[in-house]
């Protein structure tokens, strides 16, 4: 292990463990005096803002072996936690099979930040804007503890345990796994039984609403995936929402209410109300919870409305175009002058 011993200087010590286990043991030894550093972009922001004190020991994860690759494996795609957002954004397999992850990354920070920031860092923040898209694809997390690699844990479950403070804070995220999808187009032909009816139309949409059009902290993020089958019913409905300091979460009650129900416009007011009830935003002095609830409800209802409109006008067979990031404030460019 390569480390710097700095008993008198003010500068933090930087440690370069060879692998995740060594990093874990080091963190255990140094305790709260140490912090894991991946890309370090969020940490730097927090240090400069004074919202977090600079730790005297930094444990560099980027040089640790085994966390920097993207590869297909049995059951899906595995993304090492130290892969940068920039690499993810341009990865052909990732962006074609899981397009909302690519869309969400495009809406996260700016390219120069994404060339340093990692997907693992975005996940471990617990509020990263990529999380709703990962939730939509039922992502799993692979962790390292003292004994070794743990069994994959659903992201959804990890977020809940994290919120409850029920996790070992020293564990290291090794990889994010995305379960295999049926095909690249996202339009899946059912194989039999009750699923014998083919899906007519599918929509996959990610939204981020911030104060600027680009490179802005989120107020609300939503991700929606839904299909309407030949019988005119919703199926395969997945909806996630987050934004700001809110814990991203799937809106499971709304999903269950929609699946199998007749897909018509009369349901949309109920969709709006159910999002208002189920989505748990975190308001602040600039944007309260009520505003954020209304925003999320409007976006999700509008996505389903778009799906219904296309079903009515075209009869299906098309992949609905995802909508890009929207700006909370009206303006021609969304850029400060």
Partner 1 sequence: MKSETDRIGLKPWTCEINGGRVSLNVSPSRRLLDVLRDDLGLTGTKRSCDIGRCGACMVHMDGVPVNSCLVPVYQAEGRSITTIEGIGRDGLHPVQQAFLEEGGFQCGYCTPGMIMTVIALLGEYPDPEPEQVKEALSGNLCRCTGYAAILRSVRRASERIIGEGCGPGGKGDACV
| Contacts with partner 1, residue ranges (CB under 8 A) | 4-9, 11-14, 16, 37, 39-41, 44-45, 48-49, 58, 60, 62, 86, 106, 109-113, 115-116, 214-215, 333, 335-337
Q: Which is nearer to partner 1, 106 or 238 (CB)?
A: 106
- How many other β-carbons are positioned within 10 Å of the β-carbon of residue 322? 17
Closer residue to partner 1 (CB): 215 or 291: 215
Instruction: Indicate the residue among 45 and 73 with the shorter CB distance to partner 1.
Output: 45
Give least dist CB 109 to partner 1, A. Answer: 7
Residue 42's contacts (CB-CB under 8 Å, 6 or more residues apart) are 117, 121, 125
Q: How far is the CB of 209 from partner 1 (least distance, A)?
A: 16
Tokens of 324: 């890009």
Question: Closer to partner 1 at the Cβ: 15 or 279?
Answer: 15
| CB 34, min distance to partner 1, A | 13
Q: Which residues of 237-273 are buried (b: 16+ CB within 10 A; e: fewer)?
A: bbbbbbbbebebbbbeebbebbeeeebeeebeeebbe
CB of 211 to partner 1, least distance (A): 13
Residue 65 is given by DSSP the state B
CB nearer partner 1, residue 10 or residue 330: 10
Closest CA to 123 of 75, 181, 79: 79
Min dist CB 43 to partner 1, Å, is: 9
CB of residue 22 to partner 1, shortest distance in Å: 17
Closest distance to partner 1 from the beta carbon of 167 (Å): 27
| Backbone phi, psi, residue 178, to 5° | -110, 120
Q: Which is nearer to partner 1, 44 or 188 (CB)?
A: 44
Q: Which is nearer to partner 1, 30 or 276 (CB)?
A: 30
Nearest distance, CB of residue 335 and partner 1, angstroms:
6
Q: Hey, which residues does 289 pair with through a beta bridge?
A: none
Q: Which residues contact 156 (CB under 8 A, 6 or more apart)?
A: 135, 138, 249, 250
Q: How far apart are CA 137 and CA 20, in angstroms?
A: 26
DSSP string, 235-285: EEEEEEEEETTEEEEE-HHHHHHHTTSB--GGGHHHHHHHHHHH------S
Query: Is residue 325 a contact partner of residue 222, using CB atoms and an 8 Å limit?
Result: no
Bridge pairing between strands 140-144 and 172-179: antiparallel
Instruction: Tell me how far apart the terminal alpha carbons of the chain are, to the nearest angstrom.
Output: 48
Residue 42, classed as helix, strand or coil, is: helix
The token pair at 50 is: 């004074």
When the beta carbons of 62 and 261 are compared against partner 1, the nearer one is: 62
Q: In terms of CB distance, is 40 or 242 closer to partner 1?
A: 40
- Minimum separation from the CB atom of position 168 to partner 1 (A): 26
């Amino acid at each position: 292990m390569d480390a710097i011993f700095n008993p008198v200087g003010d500068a933090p010590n930087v440690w370069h463990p060879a692998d995740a286990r060594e990093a874990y043991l080091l963190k255990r030894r140094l305790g709260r005096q140490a912090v894991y550093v991946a890309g370090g972009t969020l940490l730097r922001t927090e240090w400069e803002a004074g919202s977090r004190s600079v730790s005297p020991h930094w444990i560099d994860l980027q040089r640790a072996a085994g966390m920097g690759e993207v590869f297909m494996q049995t059951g899906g795609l595995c993304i090492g936690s130290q892969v940068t957002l920039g690499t993810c954004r341009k990865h052909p397999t990732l962006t074609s099979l899981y397009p909302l992850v690519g869309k969400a990354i495009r809406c996260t920070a700016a390219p120069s930040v994404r060339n340093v920031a990692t997907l693992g860092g975005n996940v471990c923040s617990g509020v990263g804007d990529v999380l709703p898209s990962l939730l939509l694809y039922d992502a799993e997390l692979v962790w390292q503890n003292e004994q070794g690699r743990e069994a994959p844990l659903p992201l959804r479950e990890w977020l809940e345990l994290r919120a409850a403070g029920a996790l070992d804070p020293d564990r290291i995220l090794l990889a994010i796994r995305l379960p295999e999808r049926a095909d690249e187009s996202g339009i899946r032909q059912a194989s039999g039984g009750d699923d014998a009816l083919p899906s007519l139309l599918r929509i996959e949409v990610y939204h981020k609403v911030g104060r600027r059009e680009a490179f802005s902290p989120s107020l609300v993020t939503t991700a929606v995936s839904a299909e309407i089958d030949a019988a005119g019913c919703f199926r395969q409905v997945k909806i996630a929402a987050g934004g700001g300091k809110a814990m991203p979460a799937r809106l499971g009650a709304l999903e269950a209410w929609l699946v199998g129900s007749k897909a018509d416009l009369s349901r949309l007011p109920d969709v709006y109300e159910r999002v208002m009830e189920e989505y748990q935003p975190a308001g602040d002095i600039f944007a309260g919870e009520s505003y954020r609830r209304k925003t999320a409800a409007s976006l999700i209802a509008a996505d389903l409305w778009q799906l219904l409109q296309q079903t009515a006008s075209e009869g299906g067979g098309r992949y609905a175009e995802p909508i890009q990031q929207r700006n909370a404030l009206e303006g021609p460019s969304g850029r400060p002058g």
